[in-house]
């Protein structure tokens, strides 16, 4: 999606952009939350295009083959190959495979939806935290606030090694963000303050 199209979408729907970080990151794990509607994808992609953040997301490498490969590449997909490199080696975990992606690049912004679904979940998947900690990259808190009609990146969290503390800080940020369907969103109750 082009920057001009992002501006058009925001103008048509009355959204504003929170760009206070001004591209201060080019290598991070980007959380996309809340995630309660298919509209989230459209507004998030528009915001990232306007901020000129080349957001990527991971898929199984098989999704990058014909007939879906061209479309998936255009959307920003990166294929993950978790198969052993040598006979007898164990298969990589998703976390290990993503850490390798970061270690092999100077710039990479990977979008992750820790809720994992557009349905209500009171527990988030925490793989994003382990990837960021293992790769030594920050966690960017991307958000869409439907009540205020603001989209952007609120802050960066640098994993401190104290996951409980860091996750509480993340949940504290998201607890006041209003999703399109509030009944379908919850912060992770294990880390609520």
Instruction: Encode the chain (193 residues) as per-residue pLDDT tens digits.
Output: 589 999 999 999 999 999 888 777 789 999 999 999 989 989 998 999 999 988 887 777 777 778 877 777 777 778 787 777 778 888 888 898 889 889 989 999 999 989 877 678 889 999 999 999 999 999 999 999 999 999 999 999 999 999 999 999 999 999 999 999 999 999 999 998 7
CB 56 within 8 A of CB 108: yes
Length of the chain: 193
The Cα 89–Cα 60 span in angstroms is 19
Question: How high is the pLDDT of residue 1?
Answer: 58
**Any alpha helices (H) in 14-139, and if so which ranges?**
39-50, 69-75, 94-103, 127-135
Instruction: Specify whether 34 is located in the same domain as 96.
Output: yes
The Cα 93–Cα 82 span in angstroms is 7
DSSP class of residue 192 equals: -
DSSP class of residue 61 equals: G
Instruction: Specify whether 64 is located in the same domain as 37.
Output: no
Instruction: Specify whether 97 is located in the same domain as 138.
Output: yes
- Look at residues 188, 44, 41 and name the one whose alpha carbon lies nearest to residue 129: 188
- Structural domain span for residue 84: 56-91
Instruction: Specify whether 86 is located in the same domain as 142.
Output: no
The pTM for the full model equals 0.88
Domain-embedded: residue 153: no
Instruction: Specify whether 130 is located in the same domain as 177.
Output: yes
The Cα 152–Cα 138 span in angstroms is 16
Domain-embedded: residue 116: no
User: At which residue do the structure tokens 């509209």 appear?
Assistant: 39
Instruction: Specify whether 63 is located in the same domain as 79.
Output: yes
CB 104 within 8 A of CB 137: no
């Amino acid at each position: 999606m082009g920057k001009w199209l992002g501006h058009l979408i925001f103008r048509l729907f009355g959204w504003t952009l929170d760009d206070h970080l001004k591209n201060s990151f080019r290598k991070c794990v980007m959380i996309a939350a809340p995630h309660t509607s298919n509209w989230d994808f459209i507004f998030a992609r528009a915001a990232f295009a306007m901020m000129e953040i080349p957001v990527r997301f991971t898929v199984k490498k098989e999704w990058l083959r014909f007939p879906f490969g061209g479309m998936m590449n255009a959307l920003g997909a990166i294929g993950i190959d978790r198969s052993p490199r040598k006979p007898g080696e164990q298969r990589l975990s998703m976390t290990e495979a993503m850490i390798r992606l970061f270690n092999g690049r100077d710039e990479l912004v990977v979008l992750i939806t820790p809720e994992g679904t557009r349905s209500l979940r009171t527990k988030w998947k925490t793989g994003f935290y382990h990837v960021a900690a293992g790769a030594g990259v920050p966690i960017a808190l991307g958000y869409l606030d439907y009540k205020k009609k603001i989209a952007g990146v609120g802050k960066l969290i640098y994993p401190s090694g104290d996951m409980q503390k860091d996750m509480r800080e993340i949940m504290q940020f998201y607890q006041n963000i209003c999703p399109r369907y509030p009944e379908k969103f919850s912060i992770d109750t294990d880390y609520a303050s």
